[in-house]
Amino acid sequence: MQILLAGASGFIGKNFIRGAPENWRIAGIYRSNPEFARFAKGFNNLSVLKCDLSNPLEAKVKLSSLPEYFDTGLFIWGNSDIGLSCREPLSDLKDNLESLINLVSNVKFGRFIFMSSGTVYMGQSGAVDEAKFLAPTAPYGVSKLASELYLRFFAEKTGQIKECVNIRFFGAYGPMEPARKIFTNLVKRFYIEKRNEFTLGGDGKNLIDAMYIEDTVEALKRIILAEKANLTLDLCKGEPMALRELVLRVADILGVKNARIHYEGESNESITFYASPEKAERLFGLRAKVPLDEGIIRLRDYITGVVANA
């Protein structure tokens, strides 16, 4: 199988490369990560292309060096920082939507897997699903929703894509995640620094429903191999909790007693909605398996190793 992976140098991209079968030939596109070339040398089934997909001219020229057709496209490219999208909405639009358009305008795919986001539901409250009317309240959610619609256009009208799956992803945590992510910061604060305090932006009531990255990679592999297509899917763990509850649970897992939370300022987003993993399980047999306590211990061990080797 020939796979084009856009966003190969990111958190999910690198974990996907590690978890993919060796007989999958992966062409990984990355933009600027200086460490990625070294990482890529460890995989015989991986070739890499440095390209800024948000630049239409650069994308056209560099993508011409690749095969004209791939069995599968996996798009995990772009900005994923909601706060940044609020500060720089035009940059977010270019990074997410224009990059997608530039890719599918220049390469054809049999199957295309698009990593959208649960943030398309921002503005909703309570249980949500793929049938909900959407009017996202943050630029990141807007660019992701627009990308879903453009992808449907390319699949139905242009012949560039034979079939596609939109994954509305509710997040992951684990090794190689961005340093700004709450899970890494909790482990560093409670375990590495031996502190019993943590600061949250806002009131800590925002919901989070992230799965361990191993479960995410397994889900992507199953969706790539499945026959079901031309649908939108919520991908979540199915155990939503408030951020303040997450902080206290991680503290307990890491052996921190009497953990205290400080609240300051306002959050960039209001997340009071949650999804169900039922459809993902019914259609693709997907179910997150790694419990929070096991995932946190694995992340702790990974971060401890990184710190020791720094």
Question: Looking up tokens 């897992």, which residue turns up?
Answer: 253
109-162 pLDDT tens trace: 999 999 999 999 999 999 999 998 899 999 999 999 999 999 999 999 999 999
Tell me how many helices (H) and strands (E) the chain has: 12, 15
Contact status, residue 292 vs residue 253, Cβ threshold 8 Å: yes
Which residue spans of the chain are classified as CATH 3.40.50.720? 2-171+210-235
Q: Which fold has domain 178-209+239-309?
A: UDP-galactose 4-epimerase; domain 1 (3.90.25)
Contact status, residue 107 vs residue 126, Cβ threshold 8 Å: no
Q: pTM here?
A: 0.95
- Homologous superfamily in CATH for domain 2-171+210-235: NAD(P)-binding Rossmann-like Domain (3.40.50.720)
Which residue spans of the chain are classified as CATH 3.90.25.10? 178-209+239-309
d(CA 265, CA 122): 20
In single-letter form, the type of residue at position 288 comes to A
List the beta strands (DSSP E) in 93-202.
108-117, 125-127, 161-169, 172-173, 197-201
The answer to whether residue 74 scores a pLDDT higher than 90 is yes
79-110 pLDDT tens trace: 988 889 999 999 999 999 999 999 999 999 99
User: pLDDT-based confidence at 75, cuts 50/70/90?
Assistant: very high
Q: 269: part of which helix (H) or strand (E)?
A: none
242-283 pLDDT tens trace: 999 999 999 999 999 999 999 998 877 789 999 999 999 999
210-223 pLDDT tens trace: 999 999 999 999 99
3-class DSSP assignment, residue 234: strand
